[in-house]
Structure 1
């Protein structure tokens, strides 16, 4: 792990090493304004479709379009509704048809300006139109900057589960402008922070300890925030380079996601009730408590993880989701649709302690069901 005690205000570059499909993640302030020059330098002569949502468009679209035009990039914007429900077949078709109608060619690019929803949808479009176009990520949420914009996972949701339809399609460039994070609400920033914490909990206990010391500074902004983003990107880049298509170790990046995705589906992707990062936070806490129940992890580490998430303003229990109403059978159906399920056998990311996550295959569904029943009973007590 790189030294984390010397945060810097300078722009940082993290390389995702995938041979001829390698690309850079640029991290620092002012990258939306510099986007045209950075894209033109790497993808000369392209035309582009900029896909964004209504909320981000009001804040950042004009600056991006000006930057692209100044670099000689002919770009057409497409503004979609904000929210998780945009990751749908309806919006996929709308975006595909817009790209085709703009007469963009295979060598042209789809540029995603937004959070994880826009990035996932846009990347899927880039992966399937003309059997694969170029793709640029300009993530505007913390969650997207540290997780969904890196690694080439793209897709949309099915009514039966989250991210069940999609392709692996790597971007040509990721521009993580730390300055745009100042426009996020505290709830949105905290939701993204859950994914930062995840990297420490997986296999970087020193990073988790560093986060415990610097959480307040990360939320306040400044060099600690940029360093947390860069270290998260380095962690994910290393995993993606070793296991691009999630055949092995990359599954560790789903710590908390099996439970979290089931909760999101049970909420019908209603962001007023639960956003993705909050689902991941609850899921990571559940994974630690389940690991304690199975005798894999000591209770002190589970409590330590929970307390850090709670200090960041994140939920750690199912009963903290507004509206309630989570039948165990419904949650088990969601877990059964998880992408890591193999021939009906459940796979979870469990842990032996802080920074000691592992892939647990063939987990007993009855044990999971009993655990969730107890968690819900605790909530009702």
Structure 2
């Protein structure tokens, strides 16, 4: 990792396909920096109807002399669909995009996932650049090359590993981020510490109030530490054959909650927060961890303003059925990310559904 007074650079080291993650202020307007990641003369900026009015003009100023157009989604998880992938591909066709074209993802996780999947599909794979505008996307979904779209049966069931050419995390964009979206991003920061970095978790406990208040220096430090941790995991296990699966702590529960709520009840980060706590309670039930670890996690989530309870109206049997569709499962058996305490997550295969159901029913 390198730093200057204005930005931090963290490299995701994947051999010849390595790429930088730039974190700092004013980066969307620093076209001289991110323009180096463009190799061709066609660019499609994929954004949404909330973000584009705020930041598209800033990006457009850096695209002078390039043939470019924009494609806008409506805002929300429900729009991460095959239908919109088809429309984005049509937009690339209308642009006349060739194999050296680039898709720029300007927005949060939904935009980044769909833009990356679109880029992976066009002519069997073209470049894309992540320009995340939410905290959650900056610390998680923009880094690592996971792309995908949702189906009615579940979240992210279709996708591809397709690494970006660069990630441009401009902290200025967080000024327009609603409080609920900001807190949802903190869930992914906490998740990284809970998985494999107990000292970082302790640091977050100490700095929770400053993070909740969006203190600049604390926020940039938290983003950099989380991205550095994820970059290391991705470098060691790009296509999730082992260690990278640990990054899904809380996701099997969380995705089931999001899907059951039709992507309108909980934001992704909120689902992860509740899901992590359910995973901790299951770990405790299986005698893998102590109640004190669960309590520390719950206190930290509550301090930064994240939900810790399953919303009313959910059904335990429905949630379990959705969990059976999780991509980590093998041979028809649940394969979950649990822990042996803070900073010690592990993959657990063959989890007894009766134990999962007991935890879900208790939460409801």
With structure 2 as the length reference, what TM-score do the two structures score? 0.97
Q: What is the correspondence of 1:1-381 to structure 2 with a 5 Å cutoff? A: 10-34=6-30, 36-69=31-64, 72-219=65-212, 220-270=214-264, 273-318=265-310, 321=311, 324-376=312-364
**Aligned equivalents of 2:309, 2:40: Cα separation in 1:** 50
SS of corresponding position for 2:335: strand
Corresponding pairs, count: 362
CA offsets per residue over residues 236-273 of structure 1, 9 Å max, x none? 10000000011101000000100000000100111xx2
Measured in 1, the distance between the counterparts of 2:103 and 2:89 equals 10
| Aligned alpha-carbon RMSD (Å) | 1.4
Question: 1:44: Cα distance to partner?
Answer: 4.0
Partners of 2:72 and 2:81 in 1: CA distance: 15
User: 2:12, 2:149 → 1: CA distance?
Assistant: 24
**Aligned partners of 2:223 and 2:359: how far apart in 1?**
34
Secondary structure of the equivalent of 1:24?
Answer: strand
Q: Deviations over 1:186-224 (max 9, x none)?
A: 110000000000111001011011111112223323111
SS in 2 for 1:27: strand
- Displacement of 1:38 in angstroms is 2.2
Per-residue CA shift, 1:65-111, capped at 9, x if unaligned? 11222xx3332111110000111111111111111111111111000
TM-score normalised by the chain length of structure 1: 0.92
Would the alpha carbon gap of residues 260 and 8 (structure 1) be closer, same or farther in structure 2, given more than 3 Å must change?
farther
> Which string of whole-angstrom CA distances, capped at 9 and with x for unpartnered residues, describes residues 138-191 of structure 1?
000000000000000000001001000111100000000011111111110000
Structure 2 distance, partners of 1:284, 1:29, is: 31
Cα pair 1:256 1:349 within 8 Å, conserved: yes
Equivalent-residue separation in structure 2 for 1:75 and 1:232 (angstroms): 33
2:255 & 2:363 partners in 1: Cα distance? 17
Runs of 4+ aligned residues of structure 1 deviating over 6 Å after TM superposition are none
Tell me, which stretches of 5 or more residues in structure 1 are unaligned?
A: 377-381
Could you tell me which residue of structure 2 aligns to residue 379 of structure 1?
none
Change (3 A) 1:291 1:32: same
